[in-house]
Amino acid sequence: MSTELPESAVPSPTGSSESPSVPSRRTFIATSTAVGGAVVAGAVIRGTSLVGQEEATAAEGPPSSRVSLTVNGTRRTVTVDNRTSMLDLLREHLGLTGSKKGCNAGACGACTVLVDGRRVNSCLTLAVRLEGAEVTTIEGLSAGDQLHPLQQAFIDEDAFQCGYCTPGQILSGVGCIQEGHTGSPEEIREWMSGNICRCGCYVKIVRAVEQIAGRK
């Protein structure tokens, strides 16, 4: 059982010079607890407000932009997250899955497309930079049932195996021919060195490009 006496029953030390206005231990503890509680409550209220603001900001969504471009001869206008790559725009927004996502770092060339006639790694290009551009993917090379000459050459030369890299190889080959970098097998290999074929069909790929370049 506690033997602590009520504060009023505790006798003052004899000869003490303490002023009666000095708060007692209990008064000090009670006051400190009340002040501390008020501080914590204020912090909680402010914290709730900040959380609410963060949630409201998040609910607004990431910044987006409206982009108009021509894809395979058709004018398209889309609204995309500013972080969206051209590859994801083609595959996820436009349903053009011929361009493949290989390394997603610009190292394999499986995602190669033509932008205004030039070869581009679509995984490294932001979609918001395509305003007014003309994009050609593997789906846009053929004319209906009539294959592009290089597509047919790949079949004739058996220039593929698994086929995963083939769309990028063909688009890169078309770009290489248009750029005039087909003077020799060595030049073709050099200018298409950014397109990797894990099946090792490089010899036949070069032959296919040579075949079409020789007809120009």
Please write the tens of the pLDDT for every residue from 77-111. 999 999 999 999 999 999 999 999 999 999 999 99
Q: Out of 112-116, 134-138, 210-214, pick the least confident.
A: 210-214
Q: What pLDDT was estimated at residue 166?
A: 98
pLDDT band at 5 (very low <50, low <70, confident <90, very high): very low
Q: Which helix (H) or strand (E) holds 166?
A: helix 166-179
Among residues of the chain, what percentage have pLDDT more than 90?
69
Q: Out of 3-17, 118-132, 135-149, pick the least confident.
A: 3-17
Give the pLDDT mean for 2-27: 54
User: What are the distances in angstroms from CA 107 to CA 66, 83, 101, 199?
Assistant: 29, 20, 11, 16
Q: What is the pLDDT of residues 57-78, one digit of tens each?
A: 556 778 999 999 999 999 999 9
Q: What pLDDT was estimated at residue 70?
A: 98
Can you tell me the distance from the alpha carbon of 186 to that of 125, in angstroms, rounded to the nearest whole number? 28
pLDDT band at 196 (very low <50, low <70, confident <90, very high): very high
Token pair 């000095």: residue: 22
Residue-averaged pLDDT of the chain: 85
| CATH numbers and ranges of domains, the chain | 66-140 (3.10.20.30), 142-215 (1.10.150.120)
Residue type, 20: P
Give the pLDDT mean for 170-183: 96
Q: Which residues contact 92 (CB under 8 A, 6 or more apart)?
A: none
What is the distance, to the nearest Å, from the Cα of residue 7 to the centroid of all Cα atoms in its chain? Answer: 69
Model confidence at 16: pLDDT above 70: no
pTM for the full model?
0.72
